[in-house]
């Protein structure tokens, strides 16, 4: 699978997630919240999940908000070292 090249907008979302400012509403098309407010660009939020750049930090019930974390691919998109390393 080819590496995903996020847009500038997506990279800004990834930086905010890395800073611990985001939550994800658990669902098949999860919604993102930053600083408690709904993200105005849910298309990008859905793409980050679908492209494997972010994931919930823990399991949750449908609709429940949980912390969100970067995957290895998300960290790589920001030029960060892999957390597993």
Within-domain flag for 85: no
Within-domain flag for 3: no
* Residues 23 and 32 sit within 8 Å (Cβ to Cβ): yes
Structural domain containing residue 35: 8-76
pTM flag (> 0.75): yes
> pLDDT tens digit string along 41-82?
889 888 999 999 999 999 999 999 999 999 999 999 999 987
Within-domain flag for 55: yes
Instruction: Identify the band that residue 4 occupies on the pLDDT scale cut at 50, 70 and 90.
Output: low
């Amino acid at each position: 699978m080819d590496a995903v090249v996020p847009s500038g907008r997506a990279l800004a979302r990834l930086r905010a997630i890395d800073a611990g400012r985001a939550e994800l509403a658990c669902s098949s098309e999860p919604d993102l919240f930053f600083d408690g407010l709904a993200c105005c660009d849910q298309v990008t939020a859905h793409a980050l999940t679908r492209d494997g750049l972010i994931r919930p930090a823990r399991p949750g019930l449908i609709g429940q908000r949980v912390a969100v974390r970067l995957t290895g691919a998300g960290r790589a998109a920001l030029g960060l070292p892999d957390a597993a390393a």
